[in-house]
């Protein structure tokens, strides 16, 4: 009631645009207008603060969307590599920096010298999460002439934010890049500036905390549903040989899909950090603190690993755009880019619809009062996926016209907000909402609360940009 008189002029001015936006609640419409006009948003918030005194409360939301690591790439001549390694050696004498070379299949400690240059070298800080490590190796196309220098960055840690649970966002990059340049200058002028590197790989992600949403299921049940999702064309699920079962098996705790240009991974942050903690203890280092482990128990990450084929094509797209500006690399980290990539691959693999039991999904279809032929086709598709126990297996058994017809039916189910993967009846759960949509809903609801501190306004602005660009919500 306090907010409406303040934003009513904006709603009137932007009514044609609002009319063209579908599948977004009134609350999202208002947020969209808000976030699109940051100067007016600030004015509204100041007005609200002046008129109504309150004590701000902190956002409890643990879910986040952005990116978490990236790999930068730079070519160096062989003679420059010799100089650079000696600079690393000098710097390691007063810091916990360690230098390793590859010997057979393992990396062993190595002291650089002028008369020997290994073909594969790794440089990192000894058990310190500084957010940067380096990898030098011979260029396979220009052996004995050039080396490739890879710098692997964790922007959160490089910016001094020791946070395992939250994705990095655009706002973290200025400090991260400044610290990258500062650290590089301390070591050697050959490490160059951030803009001199190509972005070889970037891992976009959304961290979903089940605690943020009123979902009556366990993380293991969510993993079960996701492992029964689709495997897009050109992708294969990662597997390894199981010595006990004597066959190839996938990791039961994750859903990892691989292709030449993109890898997609869904996994538990808790299990990842627990493995890291145990590895640290094994190597005589400090474990991950218990508070972080406890906070990560219900957090799962959906990760899109963009490899060089994709980062190269994305950089060309940014170069061709009229509004890119001089700094191409920063376009990779913009909230709009992150939302476009994460939501696109989430839809391809997991889908747009909510999960229902087979019985609930059938009842929902029957409530639409379709003709008997269409109703039967939709229900048959749900029953077929349920019998096959995964969408990928169901598609793999179909070919030609039958496969194309099945895909059209899947699109129809998606338009009715029904995921073809159904919840097992024995779980006693009738409905689980789409997790990515639930995240966006919560994000925008929090962005509408001026008295809420610590909200992710960066990603909320990206959501508004997405709606403006495409005229719809991301999923």
Q: Which two tokens stand for residue 442?
A: 């919560």
Longest dimension (CA), the chain: 81
Taking the C-alpha atoms of residue 473 and residue 471, their distance in angstroms, rounded to an integer, is 7
Per-residue model confidence (pLDDT) at position 85: 96
Place of tokens 């094509």: 313
pTM: 0.87
Helices (H), 66-150: 78-92
In terms of Cβ atoms closer than 10 Å to its own Cβ (0-12, 13-18, 19+), residue 258 is middle
Q: What is d(CA 157, CA 164) in angstroms, rounded to the nearest whole number? A: 9
Q: Tell me the pLDDT tens digit for each residue of 151-163.
A: 999 999 999 888 8
Digitized pLDDT (tens) for each residue of the chain, 475 residues in all: 344 434 434 443 444 343 333 344 445 545 544 444 444 344 434 433 443 444 567 888 999 999 999 999 999 999 999 999 999 999 999 999 999 999 988 999 999 998 899 999 999 998 667 899 999 999 888 777 899 999 999 999 999 888 899 999 999 999 999 999 999 999 999 998 899 999 999 999 999 999 999 888 888 899 999 999 999 999 999 998 888 887 888 888 899 999 999 999 999 999 989 988 998 888 788 888 999 999 999 999 999 999 999 999 999 999 888 776 667 899 999 999 999 999 999 999 999 999 999 999 999 999 999 999 999 999 999 999 999 999 999 999 999 999 999 999 999 999 999 999 999 999 999 999 999 999 999 999 998 887 787 888 899 999 999 999 999 999 9
Contact (Cβ atoms closer than 8 angstroms) between residue 72 and residue 150: yes
Tell me the CA distances in angstroms from 434 to 62, 208, 314, 353, 440, one per residue in order: 17, 11, 28, 6, 10
Q: Decide: helix, strand or coil at residue 79.
A: helix
CA separation for the pair 258, 238 (Å, rounded): 7
Rounded-to-integer distance, Cα 258 and Cα 236, Å: 5
Q: CA 266 to CA 238: how far, in whole Å? A: 12
The tokens for 3 are 């907010």
Strand ranges across the sheet with 236-237: 106-109, 97-103, 120-125, 132-138, 146-153, 64-77, 198-209, 299-306, 262-268, 254-258, 236-237
Residue 255 near residue 265, CB atoms below 8 Å: yes
């Amino acid at each position: 009631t306090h907010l409406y008189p303040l934003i009513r002029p904006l709603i009137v001015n932007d009514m044609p645009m609002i009319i063209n936006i579908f599948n977004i609640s009134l609350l999202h419409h208002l947020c969209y207008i808000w976030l699109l006009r940051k100067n007016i948003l600030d004015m509204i918030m100041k007005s609200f603060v002046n008129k109504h005194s309150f004590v701000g409360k902190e956002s409890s939301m643990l879910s986040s969307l952005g990116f978490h690591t990236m790999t930068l790439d730079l070519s160096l001549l062989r003679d420059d590599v010799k100089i650079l390694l000696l600079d690393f050696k000098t710097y390691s004498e007063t810091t916990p920096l360690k230098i390793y070379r590859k010997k057979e299949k393992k990396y062993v400690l190595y002291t650089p010298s002028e008369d020997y240059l290994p073909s594969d070298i790794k440089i990192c800080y000894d058990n310190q999460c500084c957010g940067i490590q380096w990898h030098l190796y011979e260029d396979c196309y220009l052996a004995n002439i050039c080396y490739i220098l890879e710098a692997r960055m964790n922007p959160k840690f490089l910016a001094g934010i020791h946070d395992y649970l939250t994705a990095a966002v655009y706002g973290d990059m200025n400090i991260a890049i400044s610290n990258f340049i500062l650290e590089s200058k301390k070591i050697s002028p050959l490490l160059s500036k951030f803009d001199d590197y190509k972005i070889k790989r970037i891992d976009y992600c959304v961290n979903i905390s089940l605690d943020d949403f009123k979902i009556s299921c366990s993380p293991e049940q969510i993993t079960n549903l996701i492992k029964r999702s689709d495997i897009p064309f050109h992708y294969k699920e990662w597997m390894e040989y199981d010595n006990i079962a004597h066959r190839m098996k996938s990791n039961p705790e994750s859903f990892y899909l691989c292709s030449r240009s993109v890898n997609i991974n869904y996994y538990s942050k808790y299990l990842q950090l627990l493995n890291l903690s145990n590895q640290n203890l094994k190597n005589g280092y400090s474990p991950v603190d218990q508070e972080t482990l406890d906070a990560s128990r219900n957090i799962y990450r959906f990760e899109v690993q963009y490899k060089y084929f994709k980062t190269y094509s994305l950089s060309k797209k940014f170069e061709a755009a009229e509004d890119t500006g001089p700094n191409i690399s920063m376009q990779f980290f913009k909230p709009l880019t992150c939302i476009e990539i994460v939501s696109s691959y989430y839809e391809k693999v997991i889908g747009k619809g909510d999960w229902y039991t087979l019985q609930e999904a059938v009842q929902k279809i029957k409530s639409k009062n379709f003709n008997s032929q269409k109703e039967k086709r939709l229900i048959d598709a749900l029953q077929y996926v349920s019998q096959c126990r995964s969408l990928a297996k169901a598609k793999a058994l179909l070919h030609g016209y039958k496969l194309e017809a099945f895909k059209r039916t899947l699109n129809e189910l998606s338009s009715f907000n029904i995921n073809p993967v159904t919840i097992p009846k024995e779980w006693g759960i009738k409905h689980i909402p789409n997790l990515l949509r639930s995240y966006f809903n919560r994000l925008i609801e929090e962005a509408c609360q001026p008295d809420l501190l610590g909200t992710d306004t960066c990603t909320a602005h990206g959501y508004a940009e997405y709606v403006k660009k495409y005229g719809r919500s991301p999923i």
